[in-house]
Amino acid sequence: MKKILAFICSVCLCAACFAGCTYVDPDKEKGQGNQNIINQDMTITADFEGNIKVAAPDVQSHKNALNAFIKSFNVKYPKITFKVEYISLDNYKSIVTNAASSAINLNKHGIMYDVFWLSEMFINEWVLDTDFISPLTPIIEKDASFSLDGINETMLKMCTLNDNLYMMPRDYNQVVMYYNKDMFDAARVDYPSDTEAMSGAEFKQMCMDLGAGLSKSTALNGYGHKFNEQVRTIVDCNVAWNALDYPLVRSFGGEVVDENGEVVFASENTKNAIAYWKNLVDTTSGYANLAVDLSTGAAKTGGLFRMQTAPIYLHTRAVMSDLLDNVEMADQVMLAIPNLGVAPMPNFGGTYTVGAGCSGYAMYKNSVNSKAAYNFLKHVVSVEGQNAYSETGDCVPVLDSLLKAVNAKWRTCRTDKLSHDFNHNAFIFKMADSACSVTDFYPNVPLKAQSGVTARIEEAFKSGIGGKVNEIMGNVTTAANSMKRDIAQAGRL
Amino acid sequence: MPKENIYHNVPPLSQEALFSRRKKLAKNVVLLAVKYIVMVALAVFLLFPYVFMVSKSLMGMVDINAAKPMLFPKSGVYFSNYKVFLDYWPYFRNSLVVVAINGVFIPLTGFMAAYPFARREFKGKKIMFAVMMSTIMLPGAVVMVPTYVMFNALGLVDNLASQWVTAFFGGGAMNIFLMIQFMRALPKDFDNAALIDGANMVQIFFKIMFPMCFNVMVFIGISTIIGRWSDFQGPLIYLRTLSKMTIAVAFYKQFSASGASSNFTNVRMAMAVCMTVLPMILFLAFQKQMIGGVKIGGIKG
Amino acid sequence: MRDSANISSGLVSHKKLGFKKWIKRDYGCYLFLLPIISGFFIFTVYPVVSSLFYSFTDYNGIYFSHVGFFQYQKIFSLGYGGMLKDVAYSFGITFLYAIIAVPLGMVLGYVVALICNREVKGVRVFRLLYYMPTIIPGVAMALLWADVFSLNGIANQFLDLFGLHSKFLEGEDSAFATLLFTSLWGIGGSVIMWLASLRNIPPEMYEAADLDGARYFTKLFKITVPMSTPMIFYNLINAIIGALQSFDTYAMVGRGPNDCLYFIAVRIYETAFGGGNQYGLASALGWLLFAVIAILTMIMFFTNKSWVNYGDGE
């Protein structure tokens, strides 16, 4: 009896061991895509019937963008239906990856989304590691009716890996300086220049003046509070964000990894970058700190600017519609910024660098609705699609023609809230020369270490700003050593 | 200390005796007063966060973002904040479904499992008991990953069923152990009499044991409900789309999201207060069983 | 009929009972046990064995491509390649939290139970009020604490009266202490437990002590405490094992500023589901935690024999 039981148990155990895993040859080439899909004819007629499954983050601006694209797409192809799934942004990456892995594992490709949003930072991982994005270049080469010529070079570069285009960019996001004109008026400070970037010293001086001026102002903000009672911070932003920290390091002349893969993060320049920002955080003028102490990672950025208790906000175009509209929840209203101004990012360190990124949509390599999906992606970069998205106000288009045109939709949208002299050029200020993103150094860092190294930059900033001034170099060196560890560890696997 | 008085008629006490008795009385009164003060202070301390939560849920946007934080709303009391409950109703419904199924079936299947251990002999009883008790020391973290893979293969990810499908397999070793202890203390005369009269196991189970164990089952049921209501790790792993989430996870996602909506602290607090209403009501309604159950679990341990 | 009744009630046990008779006698029991037996195999045996297997591979949800001890090597090696420092820190901080928070809660609960024992009127109301905070959902409390301890919150305003300022949950040095402070609100559960145990102490012992002229603290330490010890050990170890797996801090502080509150359960969750999909590594870490808890349980088993009570008939 016992022997029978023991035998059954051991059989179960052995069976359990081999359940659910598939062995895959690690040397298989990644990123090649599904040849069946690539080689088929992707042209469709106006009455093509189909259904596309789309994944996008559950954020209002993403929802607006997707709705704009879908609506304008359905004008061209009315019979294609969409099934959209909005996924919480926190685990958006892992959910999409898991869906792909389930689909590949179980060979049921309907599980995975045909089209999904992604940022250019995900491309490396999703192509070289869990390979499920369909390369678009071979499809485009066979497609006579479409070419990538009209798309801006900078953005195309961000979406390409190993000479293959993996995602269609949908907008361009460069960090700018939003400011509240009413608060500048109350403090009697001049608006920042529209056409030139301020230097680091000028920026600090402007913040000092704002602090001093607002501490004397008894004007009321939209909620009925006096500025001198409410303003406790001048610049609202989270500096430990890869769109701000890495460009800051670069603008002071520092770099993270050089072309040979050596970590050069622990340098005098990096220390100066962090020291500059720490100086902003520690200095007070009037009742306010010049920058908010987000070294500890509190991520509620924008809150102070939205509640009209901070005059400056560093972020991208993607949040502009958030700032221009009232937000309501259960009868409580968060007011829109009444007079929004925008200026180019200051040149903090001397070498002008601005954080920039690109996001867009990509196609699953084994998509069951590949024709409809590919045509949707083409629509995203078409003039109609870009104009439709521009109506929401959040879009800086990817087509050169639209970028240059003076009356393009993205410059003339939201006239209800934006004054006619709103400086739209700030969003593309010097983008050809100075735009930079962490993906610039990704080619020099092994794949598995990339996110680690990016996180170490943030750690250096957080600990540097949170600690004492003479400890900054120590913190930077610690972060650099961690980066070396990450790279060595990734190289081993 | 004065010796025991052996007289039946107690003679009047001397002046010193009266004085010391009064002193003792005074000491007792002071001690009692001190006890009460300490207990009240502790109650205030423990309940302060909840009161603060309710108070903040009634504030308006202006008070929430004032530079100096305040304890009580100054510019207006906004009961309208509680309208957010209507927005959260789908998540409430999901939570209610999960909690109801768990709360009913975990005590039932646990009871079914505990009965043979407490009352019957069968081959392999010792081994099974030992194995069952040893599962207590199994940390959830070990089984988390393979369970997820298994549920994924069964299509249960992003499906509310993943939260209640384990309810049908017994509620975990601790609950069963509790019931075994309880049942062992019950007198055996009833089921011996029934056996002699020819009842089989099922009849004994339902007609005799079930009514007697009602209190413990209520305790386990209510504890499970309260536990699952606040359960946040399980749904966090399995539930993906917002519409399928339970209340704890939906609340967590909304309040930790970085975006304009996370600045409405007062509305969030109103939501938090709504979330605490159900456990409170259940606890107050069933407090006899709840506190009794904690005693059993604690003492017999 | 009486014969079978005797046999089925287990009063007569035949060691060499044949297969058919065994099934006929016990099938009812096995039917009743079917849910937990099947649950045991599905939700315990299969995951545990799979998890062991995953821990030797680099399974990431889609496939695995290497088999070997490398995950464990990675966990236990120092220097450039290894995680030993991080894993040891996670275990250490979790252990520290368990070792401090649990006994602290129990001792304070004991003190409170001593204060509001049966002599005081209205103890039922107070008992209720003390237990209430423990049933508030953890996520709601997380929001509350995040607000109270925010940089401009009530707690800092209170400290401003004394001219102090603290970063509370957002500063590396103060986060742990703040976390311990918030765990104090859970003492309601142990208060009730101790109240019940205090009630079990026979009052004759106190009267005898009074006759002998014992003062309050003598009575406390010579009678009350020793009579409560049976409960202390078991509940202490159980609570510590529970605290070692605590996950609720994730809602309040995530990983903590600069990962200083990166508890082991949170680490396992993040390794598996936090984006990297490293199921293999997460399984290895889970087994490590299992080993630690098993050792603790063995200690409990060997030092307190009365805990183990096989289901013998009485």
pLDDT of residue A300: 58
Closest to C174 measured CA to CA, from C258, C101, C294: C258
pLDDT of residue C15: 52
At residue B157, does pLDDT exceed 80? yes
Q: Is residue C156 part of a domain?
A: yes
Both C204 and C88 in a single domain? yes
HEC sequence for A349-380 = CCCCCEEEEEEEEEEECCCCCHHHHHHHHHHH
> Looking at the 3D structure of chain C, how many domains does it have?
2
Both B126 and B267 in a single domain? yes
User: What pLDDT digit, counting tens, does each position of C83-94 carry?
Assistant: 888 899 999 999
At residue A82, does pLDDT exceed 90? yes
Both C11 and C138 in a single domain? no
At residue A393, does pLDDT exceed 50? yes
User: What pLDDT digit, counting tens, does each position of B44-79 carry?
Assistant: 999 999 999 999 888 888 777 777 778 888 877 888
Q: Is residue C251 part of a domain?
A: yes
Interface partners of chain A (CB pairs < 8 Å, 3 or more) are B, C
Determine, for residues B196 and C265 on separate chains, whether the beta-carbon distance falls below 8 Å: no
Q: How near does any CA of chain A get to the CA of B258, in Å?
A: 5
Interface test with B, best of C17, C19, C22, C136 (most B CBs within 10 A): C136
pLDDT of residue C26: 75
Range of the structural domain that residue C21 is part of: 2-54
Across chain B, mean pLDDT equals: 82
Q: Is residue C65 part of a domain?
A: no
Determine, for residues C64 and A94 on separate chains, whether the beta-carbon distance falls below 8 Å: no
Q: Which of A53-67, B198-212, B259-273, C300-314 has the lowest mean pLDDT?
A: C300-314
Both B124 and B178 in a single domain? yes
Q: Is residue C50 part of a domain?
A: yes
pLDDT of residue A297: 37
pLDDT of residue C309: 42
Query: In this structure, what token pair is assigned to residue C277?
Result: 């999909």
Note whether A91 contacts B: Cβ–Cβ < 8 A: yes
Q: Is residue B73 part of a domain?
A: no
pLDDT of residue B9: 66
Question: Using CA atoms, how far apart are residues A218 and A470, in angstroms rounded to an integer?
Answer: 39
Interface test with B, best of A313, A315, A332, A333 (most B CBs within 10 A): A332
> Looking at the 3D structure of chain B, how many domains does it have?
2
Q: What is the pLDDT averaged over residues B279-283?
A: 89
Q: Is residue B280 part of a domain?
A: yes
Determine, for residues C139 and B252 on separate chains, whether the beta-carbon distance falls below 8 Å: yes
**Which carries the bigger pLDDT value, residue C7 or residue A330?**
A330
Q: What is the pLDDT averaged over residues A258-272?
A: 90
Chain B segment 68-97 residues within 8 A of C by beta carbon are 68-69, 71
Question: Using CA atoms, how far apart are residues A405 and A475, in angstroms rounded to an integer?
Answer: 47
In this prediction, residue A190 has a pLDDT band, given cuts at 50, 70 and 90, of very high
Note whether A161 contacts C: Cβ–Cβ < 8 A: no
User: What pLDDT digit, counting tens, does each position of A119-134 carry?
Assistant: 888 888 888 878 899 9
- Minimum Cα–Cα distance from A15: chain C residue: C46
pLDDT of residue C81: 57
User: What pLDDT digit, counting tens, does each position of A20-43 carry?
Assistant: 455 555 556 677 778 888 888 888
At residue A66, does pLDDT exceed 90? yes
Determine, for residues C62 and A1 on separate chains, whether the beta-carbon distance falls below 8 Å: no
In this prediction, residue B177 has a pLDDT band, given cuts at 50, 70 and 90, of confident
Chain B segment 150-209 residues within 8 A of A by beta carbon are 150, 152-153, 157
Closest to A311 measured CA to CA, from A250, A244, A259, A236: A236
Note whether A309 contacts B: Cβ–Cβ < 8 A: yes
Type of residue at A151:
I
Q: What is the pLDDT averaged over residues A144-173?
A: 88
pLDDT of residue C307: 45
Both C109 and C240 in a single domain? yes
Question: Using CA atoms, how far apart are residues B135 and C195, in angstroms rounded to an integer?
Answer: 30
Determine, for residues A102 and B240 on separate chains, whether the beta-carbon distance falls below 8 Å: no
Helix C84-115 to helix C175-183 angle, to the nearest 10 degrees? 40
- Minimum Cα–Cα distance from B291: chain C residue: C192
Q: What is the pLDDT averaged over residues B122-141?
A: 84
Both C146 and C247 in a single domain? yes
Both C139 and C29 in a single domain? no
Both C146 and C283 in a single domain? yes
Q: Which position has the token pair 């600017």?
A: A305
Both B36 and B84 in a single domain? no
What DSSP character marks residue B207? Answer: I
pLDDT of residue B259: 59
Sort out which chain B residues have CB atoms less than 8 A from C269's CB and list them. Answer: 141, 144, 233, 236-237
Determine, for residues B295 and C192 on separate chains, whether the beta-carbon distance falls below 8 Å: yes
pLDDT of residue C94: 93
Determine, for residues B253 and A225 on separate chains, whether the beta-carbon distance falls below 8 Å: no
Note whether C293 contacts B: Cβ–Cβ < 8 A: yes
In this prediction, residue B197 has a pLDDT band, given cuts at 50, 70 and 90, of confident
pLDDT of residue A476: 93
* Residue B119 · residue B267 · CB < 8 Å: no
Q: Is residue B67 part of a domain?
A: no
Question: Using CA atoms, how far apart are residues C156 and A253, in angstroms rounded to an integer?
Answer: 39
Interface test with C, best of A14, A21, A93 (most C CBs within 10 A): A21
Determine, for residues C29 and B120 on separate chains, whether the beta-carbon distance falls below 8 Å: yes
In this prediction, residue A13 has a pLDDT band, given cuts at 50, 70 and 90, of low
Both C270 and C155 in a single domain? yes
**Which carries the bigger pLDDT value, residue B8 or residue B252?**
B252
Determine, for residues B35 and C116 on separate chains, whether the beta-carbon distance falls below 8 Å: yes
Ranges under pLDDT 50 in chain C: 1-14, 307-314
Both C81 and C48 in a single domain? no
Both B96 and B231 in a single domain? yes
Both C242 and C290 in a single domain? yes
Interface test with A, best of C63, C250, C253 (most A CBs within 10 A): C63
Both C125 and C254 in a single domain? yes
Note whether C273 contacts A: Cβ–Cβ < 8 A: yes
Both B131 and B270 in a single domain? yes
Q: Is residue B63 part of a domain?
A: no
Determine, for residues C154 and B69 on separate chains, whether the beta-carbon distance falls below 8 Å: yes
Three-state SS at A333: strand
Both B137 and B48 in a single domain? no
Both C144 and C270 in a single domain? yes
Q: Is residue B290 part of a domain?
A: yes
Q: Is residue B212 part of a domain?
A: yes
What DSSP character marks residue C225? Answer: H
Note whether A5 contacts C: Cβ–Cβ < 8 A: no
Both C117 and C173 in a single domain? yes
CATH of the domain at C158: 1.10.3720.10
H helix runs in B4-139, sequence order = 15-57, 61-64, 84-119, 125-134
- Calculated CA dihedral for residues A264, A269, A272, A273, nearest 10 degrees: -70
Domains of chain A with CATH codes: 38-172+357-412 (3.40.190.10), 176-315+445-492 (3.40.190.10)
Chain C segment 277-296 residues within 8 A of A by beta carbon are 277
CATH of the domain at B87: 1.10.3720.10
Both B158 and B269 in a single domain? yes
At residue A16, does pLDDT exceed 60? no
Q: Is residue C12 part of a domain?
A: yes
Query: In this structure, what token pair is assigned to residue B90?
Result: 């789908």
Q: Which of A365-374, B21-30, B46-55, C34-43 has the lowest mean pLDDT?
A: B21-30
Note whether C153 contacts A: Cβ–Cβ < 8 A: no
Q: Is residue B68 part of a domain?
A: no
H or E stretch including A329? strand A327-329
List C-alpha distances in Å: A37 to A359, A365, A373, B250.
24, 8, 11, 38
**Which carries the bigger pLDDT value, residue A341 or residue C252?**
A341
At residue A11, does pLDDT exceed 70? no
Determine, for residues B153 and A223 on separate chains, whether the beta-carbon distance falls below 8 Å: no
Determine, for residues C258 and A130 on separate chains, whether the beta-carbon distance falls below 8 Å: no
At residue B148, does pLDDT exceed 60? yes
Both B199 and B234 in a single domain? yes
Chain C segment 62-91 residues within 8 A of B by beta carbon are none
In this prediction, residue A379 has a pLDDT band, given cuts at 50, 70 and 90, of very high
Q: How near does any CA of chain B get to the CA of A302, in Å?
A: 8
Question: Using CA atoms, how far apart are residues B68 and B46, in angstroms rounded to an integer?
Answer: 24
Closest to B250 measured CA to CA, from B259, B258, B241: B241
Chain C segment 170-189 residues within 8 A of A by beta carbon are 170-172
Q: How near does any CA of chain A get to the CA of C84, in Å?
A: 13
Q: Is residue C203 part of a domain?
A: yes
Selecting from B201, B248, B291 the residue whose C-beta is nearest the C-beta of C139 gives B248
Determine, for residues A101 and C60 on separate chains, whether the beta-carbon distance falls below 8 Å: yes
Range of the structural domain that residue B276 is part of: 79-299
